[in-house]
Amino acid sequence: KNEVEQSPQNLTAQEGEFITINCSYSVGISALHWLQQHPGGGIVSLFMLSSGKKKHGRLIATINIQEKHSSLHITASHPRDSAVYICAVSIMNYGGSQGNLIFGKGTKLSVKP
Amino acid sequence: GAVVSQHPSRVICKSGTSVKIECRSLDFQATTMFWYRQFPKKSLMLMATSNEGSKATYEQGVEKDKFLINHASLTLSTLTVTSAHPEDSSFYICSARVGSEAFFGQGTRLTVV
């Protein structure tokens, strides 16, 4: 079982729709990251969360530490939001590579005009 | 925010040759950088942790002699794929941490023919 699970794997939406991407993890974490990867491959960090909720423009990220679950919401989706969204966690007291992230497989989002 | 610059973004090389990928922190000093590899439709997998002034720490299964990492300064880490083989074709990306924040290079798409 993967330590970080995302759902759905693929998501197609119409422009304007409200979108939710979910991330569940099975380990103790110090922080959770939501990342955006565009078709060219470059990765942009959207949010870093350790509790509660953060909002940036049309993007909202929430985390429930007790349930080990996070969601990324996109309001009023737009074709330019089409990308792969990746959830990654920083492991608490990770004895190996300090500061390493463990990644989910990503959710491929396509927003149709 | 902090900027991590990775070069080249794409490279095609012949089997048996070596390819060097550079990762620079442009506006901060990175004592540690992480090198990841991404297979199609898979999560990013940590290859190694690059430590300034000391040997890199490689993950299990990653060949040290094949993937040479050098972190000679606080702003530059390089990954050299030696004696490249078509199986090495992949997307490679570096990352640096500033506190709890993670910043990523643009990634390098390597194709070995």
Contact map slice: A 56-85 vs B, CB within 8 A = none
The sign of the CA dihedral B64, B91, B18, B6 is negative
Which two tokens mark A56? 């940036």
Do the beta carbons of residue A19 and residue A74 sit within 8 Å? yes
- pLDDT-based confidence at residue A92 (cuts at 50, 70, 90): low
Q: Does A23 touch chain B (CB under 8 A)?
A: no
Total number of residues shown for chain A:
113
Tokens of B75: 């702003």
Residue A6 near residue A104, CB atoms below 8 Å: yes
From the list B38, B42, B102, which residue is nearest A33 (CB)? B102
- Kindly report the length of chain B: 113
Q: What is the mean pLDDT of residues A4-28?
A: 96
- Answer yes or no: are the C-beta atoms of A31 and A39 closer than 8 Å: no
Residues of A in contact with B102 (CB under 8 A): 33, 35, 45, 48, 88, 101
Structure tokens at A88: 């990654």
Which residue among A40, A44, A99 sits closest to B97, beta carbon to beta carbon?
A: A99
Tell me how far apart the alpha carbons of residues A19 and A49 are, in angstroms, rounded to a whole number: 19
Least confident of A15-19, B52-56, B62-66: B52-56
Q: Which of A34-48, A76-90, A96-110, B68-82 has the lowest mean pLDDT?
A: A96-110
Q: What pLDDT is attached to residue B103?
A: 86
Strands A19-25 and A29-37: unpaired
> How far is CA B62 from each of CA A3, A22, A76, B111, rounded to the nearest angstrom?
20, 31, 43, 19
Angle at B48 between CA B45 and CA B53, to 5 degrees: 155
Mean pLDDT, chain B, integer: 91
**Least CB-CB distance to B101: which of A43, A48, A104?**
A48
Instruction: Answer whether A41 sits within 8 Å of B93, measured CB to CB.
Output: yes
Angle at A44 between CA A38 and CA A49, to 5 degrees: 130
CA distance A22 to chain B (A): 16
Q: Write out chain A residues lying below 8 Å of B101, CB-based.
A: 45, 48
List the helix and strand counts (H, then E) for chain B. 0, 11
Bridge-based pairing state of the strands B57-58 and B44-51? antiparallel
